[in-house]
Amino acid sequence: MTVTARPTLENDGSVSDDPCQECNGRLVLRNVRSGGFFLGCSNFPKGCTWKMAPNPHQMEELALQRAERKAERAKKRAERDRLEHEEALAKKRREEALAPKYCESCYSSLSNVDKQAGRTKHQNCR
């Protein structure tokens, strides 16, 4: 049995078209150290060692799908990082807005060092 239909990658990395010849497991893309990949059984190495190289057309399709998924993950990661950064900035602005601006004793403005330390008075004022 050979994989002849157009393969598609599922979210878990499996190729959804044909089952494994030996155990009816799902076919998944396995990475090779040299940078390529092959189709192998999802039950490897716990019981099934079936594997095959996809034909050149399938390799192109799978490589394109894998690249698209990788780009999509990178885009989501960048969006998540941007949102986290915006949340951190908003939190910092809220904390700065709540910090006292004037000394409780002499009513002169507090320095940035005093504000960051959370002081409500100058160090010299008692």
The pLDDT tens digits of the residues spanning 56-94 come to 777 777 778 878 888 999 999 999 999 999 999 999 888
**DSSP-derived 3-state class of residue 77:** helix
Element (H, E) at 112: helix 112-117
Domain extent at residue 90: 14-96
Task: Answer whether residue 118 is part of any domain.
Answer: no
Q: What is the pLDDT of residues 8-61, one digit of tens each?
A: 555 555 565 667 778 888 877 777 777 677 777 878 777 787 777 777 777 777
**Number of independent structural domains in the chain:** 1
Task: Answer whether residue 83 is part of any domain.
Answer: yes
Task: Answer whether residue 47 is part of any domain.
Answer: yes
Average of per-residue pLDDT across 110-116: 77
Looking at residue 4, what is its pLDDT? 46
Q: Identify the band that residue 3 occupies on the pLDDT scale cut at 50, 70 and 90.
A: very low
Q: Report the alpha-carbon distance of residue 53 to residue 35 in Å, rounded.
A: 13
Q: Report the alpha-carbon distance of residue 38 to residue 52 in Å, rounded.
A: 6
Residue 9 DSSP symbol? B
Task: Answer whether residue 24 is part of any domain.
Answer: yes
